[in-house]
């Protein structure tokens, strides 16, 4: 709805041009931008800076078009508006005046109140810069090399289509909302990935999976599901409550599916475990899912009684990819330390997954153990590969920083 509201003056311009000519359309868009700002103020009691800049330039260039009877002024206006916006975003990105990127300032001032990690805000800011530069150049090319009617069609359909595609592309990354980890991932996990969260017992794999689901449900209103094969649903809810998050705000968009009884249905002859899991997931999910956590791969092997592990894992990962969502698969992985050196094995799931986030317990001294995390791989992003120290505290839940020491 907001995208349609932003384009109402352009739609009015297009209709007026088709019914009359470009000068009548110019007068109509001048009136339309004034009405747009007034309606926005009445509805929100706020002034949208982008509306103000656009309206100011419409008044100036539209007025010149009508006064001089030269259409070049109104045709130049979209290019100048977009390039001015690009310049403002560039200045904010370079932190010439300090503070947050302009994308963050604008998007956190809306009703959505998005809460994203700094790395993702900076990536979004760069995307807005590229978008405004492209839009300005495209408008310039169309009115320079095509006729007036083609430019009017592009002003509505071309720009609206490019804007719609841009809004879809913005959702490419899924933030973990773990301070430090999203920076290491260069913004987050690429949308649609199947990510393995592996580690030994006590590394908080389940807590990390729950934290990602809950924070995305609260901050970005993404619907998620937690599928447990080892713990009962009641136990998962208690663990979620212990993370210091607003459980009441998360649960409307977070489903917990208890699959611990899968082995009993198998004993009655239901041997296609994947079909049963798929049917249960589709049956429980309300709105379309965006995030899914499977906990855990090892418990699934037991309750589903997998006979050909490699073949069945391939089926599982193919199903997860076909869902067109972002999924996290938890897997047990013990470290073997030989003379201070960590010996890590490789399993079939490492090669099937798009990303691997490894958690481990690292001996810092003879008495002290430190939790650490490492992004082993993540297709689609130039991530850091070094170990990060994991800090868990009430209220913050998870926070990571570069590991220091042994």
Task: Report the b/e string of 39-73 with b at 16+ CB within 10 A.
Answer: ebeeeeeeebeebeebbebbeebbebbbeeeebeb
Instruction: Report helix angle 72-93 to 49-68, nearest 10.
Output: 150
Interval 315-339: pLDDT, tens? 889 999 888 889 999 998 766 665 5
Q: Whole-angstrom Cα distance, residue 174 to residue 97? A: 29
Place of tokens 């289509």: 161
Among 224, 191, 203, 121, which Cα is nearest to 355's?
Answer: 191
Place of tokens 């030989």: 338
Q: What pLDDT score was predicted for residue 171? A: 63
- Structure-block tokens of residue 30: 């001048």
- Residue 228 phi/psi, 5° resolution? -110, 130
Q: What pLDDT score was predicted for residue 176? A: 83
- Residue 174 phi/psi, 5° resolution? -105, 115
Long-range CB pairs of 89-93, under 8 A, 24+ apart, other chains included: 89/125, 89/128, 89/129, 89/132, 90/129, 92/125, 93/122, 93/125, 93/126, 93/129
Among 112, 104, 115, which Cα is nearest to 245's?
Answer: 115
Q: What pLDDT score was predicted for residue 269? A: 46
Contact indicator for 216, 177 with CB cutoff of 8 Å: yes
Interval 219-233: pLDDT, tens? 778 889 999 888 887
Say whether 85 sits in a helix, a strand or coil: helix
Question: How far separated are the first and last CA of the chain, in Å rounded?
Answer: 54
Give me the DSSP letters along 123-138. HHHHHHHHHHHHHHHH
Q: Whole-angstrom Cα distance, residue 101 to residue 90? A: 9
If one counts every other C-beta atom within 10 angstroms of the C-beta of residue 312, the result is: 18
pLDDT higher for 188 or 337? 188
Q: What pLDDT score was predicted for residue 271? A: 63
> Range with the lowest mean pLDDT among 150-154, 182-186, 354-358, 372-376?
182-186
192 backbone φψ class: left, alpha, beta (φ>0; ψ -120 to 50): left
- Structure-block tokens of residue 223: 């619907």
Interval 356-379: pLDDT, tens? 999 988 877 777 888 888 999 998
Contact indicator for 173, 120 with CB cutoff of 8 Å: yes
User: What pairs with residue 130 in β-bridges?
Assistant: none
pLDDT, mean of residues 40-62 = 81
pLDDT higher for 169 or 263? 169
Place of tokens 């739609």: 11
For the cut 60, the answer to whether the pLDDT of residue 217 exceeds it is: yes
Q: Whole-angstrom Cα distance, residue 248 to residue 305? A: 36
Q: Whole-angstrom Cα distance, residue 253 to residue 219? A: 11
Contact indicator for 250, 241 with CB cutoff of 8 Å: no
CB neighbours of 83 closer than 8 A, spacing ≥ 6? 132, 133, 136
If one counts every other C-beta atom within 10 angstroms of the C-beta of residue 344, the result is: 14
Among 115, 180, 116, 117, which Cα is nearest to 399's?
Answer: 180
Interval 97-138: pLDDT, tens? 556 777 777 665 544 445 566 767 777 888 889 999 999 999
Place of tokens 């993404």: 222
pLDDT higher for 326 or 341? 326
For the cut 50, the answer to whether the pLDDT of residue 74 exceeds it is: yes
For the cut 50, the answer to whether the pLDDT of residue 56 exceeds it is: yes
pLDDT higher for 235 or 284? 235
Q: What pLDDT score was predicted for residue 99? A: 63
If one counts every other C-beta atom within 10 angstroms of the C-beta of residue 168, the result is: 8
């Amino acid at each position: 709805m907001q995208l349609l509201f932003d384009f109402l003056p352009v739609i009015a311009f297009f209709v007026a041009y088709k019914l009359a000519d470009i000068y009548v359309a110019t007068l109509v868009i001048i009136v339309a931008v004034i009405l747009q700002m007034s309606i926005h103020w009445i509805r929100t009691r706020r002034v949208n800076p982008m509306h103000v800049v656009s309206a100011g330039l419409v008044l100036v260039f539209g007025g010149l078009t009508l006064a001089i009877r030269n259409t070049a002024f109104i045709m130049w206006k979209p290019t100048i508006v977009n390039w001015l916006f690009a310049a403002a975003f560039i200045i904010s990105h370079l932190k010439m005046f300090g503070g947050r990127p302009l994308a963050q300032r604008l998007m956190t001032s809306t009703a959505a109140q998005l809460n994203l990690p700094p790395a993702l805000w900076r990536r979004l800011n760069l995307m807005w810069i590229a978008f405004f530069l492209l839009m300005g150049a495209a408008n310039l090319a169309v009115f320079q090399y095509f006729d007036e009617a083609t430019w009017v069609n592009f002003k509505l359909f071309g720009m609206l289509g490019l804007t719609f595609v841009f809004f879809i592309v913005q959702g490419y990354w899924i933030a973990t909302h773990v301070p430090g980890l999203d920076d290491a991932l260069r913004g987050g996990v690429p949308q649609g990935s199947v990510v393995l969260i592996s580690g030994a017992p006590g590394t908080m794999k389940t807590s990390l999976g729950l934290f990602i689901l809950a924070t995305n449900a609260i901050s970005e209103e993404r619907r998620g599901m937690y599928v447990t094969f080892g713990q009962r649903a009641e136990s998962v809810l208690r663990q979620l409550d212990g993370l210091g998050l607003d459980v009441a705000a998360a649960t409307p968009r977070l489903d917990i599916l208890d699959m611990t009884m899968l082995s009993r249905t198998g004993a009655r002859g239901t041997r296609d475990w994947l079909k049963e899991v798929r049917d249960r997931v589709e049956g429980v999910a309300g709105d379309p899912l965006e995030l899914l956590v499977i906990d855990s791969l090892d418990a699934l092997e037991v309750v589903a009684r997998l006979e050909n592990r490699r073949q069945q894992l391939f089926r599982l990962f193919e199903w997860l990819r076909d869902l067109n969502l972002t999924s996290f698969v938890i897997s047990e992985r013990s470290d073997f330390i030989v003379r201070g050196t960590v010996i890590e094995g490789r399993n079939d799931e490492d090669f099937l997954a798009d990303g691997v986030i490894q958690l481990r317990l690292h001996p810092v001294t003879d008495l002290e153990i430190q939790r650490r995390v490492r992004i082993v791989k993540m297709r689609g992003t130039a991530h850091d590969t070094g170990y990060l120290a994991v800090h868990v505290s009430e209220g913050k839940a998870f926070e990571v920083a570069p590991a220091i020491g042994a």
